[in-house]
Amino acid sequence: DTKNSHLITFGVNTDSPVERDDARPQKETDALHLQSSIETLQRLRRDQARQGKRQRGRFALQFWTDATVKKQKGDKTLTGGVAVFKFKGKVGLALERRCGMHACSFRAEALTIEDSCKMLLGIVKENPYLLRNRTVLIGTDSQSTVSALKLGPRRQKERMTQSTWEYLNQIADLGVRVHLQFVYSHCGVIMNEMADHFADMTVLDKEAPDLTPLWLTDALSYSRRYIKYARQYSSAYDHRR
């Protein structure tokens, strides 16, 4: 822990003061509420347009992370994560990584956020005055990862989230504020959509190196996928007979 941990903030729900376009209307099963949901989304987007100029200068640097888990033929999967940056109006790909053949979505997202915090720490150390007393945004559509990190550094059980908090504490000690924000996916947040696009491309790049060690949860997730695939194959074989 660090005395500057108050510089690290979290937004797990849509009430956090980021771009208002990150809010998605509550799911409605009744068709009668469909029109009101559409009107709610349109209103939120109008609010975002009005607040755009005010929000634009709030964050000195933005990282938007996303990870994708693609099911392959049989019981195999491909996972990859990326971080897209936005700085002084410029947007680009900050990092990309493979997250293991059998990684679950939580691990893939957590590893990508960990790498983003590590990159941010390197930037702050190389340019101490660039972001001092400014706020950096790290946006993600992984609510579980932000919720886990929000528990604090002393309640982390996984190495990747522990390392993330170590990076965050070092960044805070250098006078930089960090806000980690959850947003809904595919809801009109442009930077999140861009990160999602690059994540899909990273997964399809089969030549990218993948040296991620196997996590216990990955092994359990892979076992469940294998059992499900084996049952489906057995059922299809019996049907053909």
Q: Are 30 and 50 in contact, with CB atoms under 8 Å apart?
A: no
Q: How confident is the model at residue 233 (pLDDT cuts 50, 70, 90)?
A: low
Cα 166 to Cα 172: distance, rounded to the nearest angstrom: 10
Residue 180 has pLDDT above 50, yes or no: yes
Contact 77, 71 (CB under 8 A): yes
Encode pLDDT of 14-35 as tens digits: 444 444 444 444 444 444 455 5
- 3-state class of 177 per DSSP? strand
Burial of 237 (0-12, 13-18, 19+ CB in 10 A): exposed
Cα 214–Cα 216–Cα 220 angle in degrees, nearest 5:
105
Tell me, what amino acid is at 95? Answer: L
| Count of CB atoms situated within 10 Å of the CB of 44 | 20
| Tens-digit pLDDT profile for residues 197-213 | 888 887 665 555 555 55
Of 28 and 151, more confident: 151
Top-confidence residue, 221 or 56: 221
User: What's the rounded Cα separation, in Å, for the pair 64 and 11?
Assistant: 14
